[in-house]
């Protein structure tokens, strides 16, 4: 029985609920200190934000879309590579996504905080596309697109977002950092050990 995808979704939802049910100012400050990633947080020694921000959502729509992606890609990837490798992919992909965001924030002199599972989900989505490149995804709920084409398209949008920042409140660099780890993990670990059962 595969359970890791559901557990990761549950943790994300739990942190979201904490944001929306915490009433004490001290509790809100604790959440902000531990679940928001920024250059300031890291320079102050709060390195836990590199990972914890990847489980953190405040906006409902942000949570819903990330969890749809995590559930859709995560279940298939978990079936193919196993629960613990999926957890590793989420955590390591999320960490590299956070590093990507920090590098970009430093380059553009931004102290804005970042949060959300998008970077970790990007890592999982890249592995999904490599495992099942011809699987059909439905974009915007009605446009069918092959998985590899869809993921490459989103990565191109992220590259454009990094090169031409529009202040759209999207951490494009984090997406690219997570996607980079997904590609590396597939290329140097999963693909050499790929079994016929993975399919394509």
| pLDDT in single tens digits along all 200 residues of the chain | 589 999 999 999 999 999 999 999 999 999 999 999 999 999 999 999 999 999 999 999 999 999 999 999 999 999 999 999 999 999 999 999 999 999 999 999 999 999 999 999 999 999 999 999 999 888 766 788 999 999 999 999 999 999 886 666 789 999 999 999 999 999 999 989 876 444 44
Where in the sequence is the domain holding 48, given as residue range(s)? 4-194
**Residue 169, in any domain of the structure:** yes
CATH number at residue 138: 1.20.1540.10
**Residue 199, in any domain of the structure:** no
The pTM for the full model equals: 0.92
Give 136's strand partners: 146
Residue 40: exposure state from Cβ atoms within 10 A (0-12, 13-18, ≥19): middle
Asked if residues 164 and 107 have their Cβ atoms less than 8 Å apart, the reply is no
Could you confirm whether 83 is annotated as catalytic? no
Question: What is the b/e burial string over 168-185, where b = at least 16 CB atoms within 10 angstroms of the residue's CB?
Answer: eebbbbbbbbbbbbbbeb
Number of separate domains in the chain: 1
**Residue 45, in any domain of the structure:** yes
Residue-level pLDDT at 164: 82
Could you confirm whether 20 is annotated as catalytic? no
**Residue 200, in any domain of the structure:** no
Q: How many CA atoms lie within 13 A of 136 on its CB side?
A: 5
Residue 48: exposure state from Cβ atoms within 10 A (0-12, 13-18, ≥19): middle
Tell me 24's DSSP state.
S
Residue-level pLDDT at 195: 61
Residue-level pLDDT at 140: 67
Residue-level pLDDT at 154: 92
**Residue 8, in any domain of the structure:** yes
> Which listed residue (38, 56, 98, 118) is catalytic?
118
């Amino acid at each position: 029985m595969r359970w890791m995808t559901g557990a990761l979704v549950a943790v994300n939802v739990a942190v979201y609920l904490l944001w929306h049910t915490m009433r004490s100012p001290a509790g809100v400050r604790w959440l902000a200190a531990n679940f928001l990633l920024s250059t300031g947080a890291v320079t102050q020694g709060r390195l836990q934000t590199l990972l914890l921000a990847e489980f953190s959502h405040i906006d409902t729509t942000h949570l819903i879309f990330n969890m749809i992606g995590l559930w859709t890609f995560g279940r298939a990837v978990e079936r193919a590579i196993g629960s613990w490798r999926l957890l590793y992919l989420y955590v390591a992909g999320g960490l590299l996504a956070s590093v990507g965001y920090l590098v970009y924030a430093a380059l553009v002199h931004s102290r804005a905080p970042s949060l959300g599972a998008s970077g970790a989900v990007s890592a999982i989505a890249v592995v999904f596309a490599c495992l099942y490149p011809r699987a059909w995804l439905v974009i915007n709920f009605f446009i069918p697109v092959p998985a590899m084409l869809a993921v490459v398209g989103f990565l191109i949008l992220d590259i454009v977002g990094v090169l031409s920042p529009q202040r759209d409140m999207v951490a494009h660099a984090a997406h690219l950092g997570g996607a980079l780890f997904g590609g590396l993990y597939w290329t140097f670990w999963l693909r050499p050990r790929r079994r016929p059962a993975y399919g394509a």
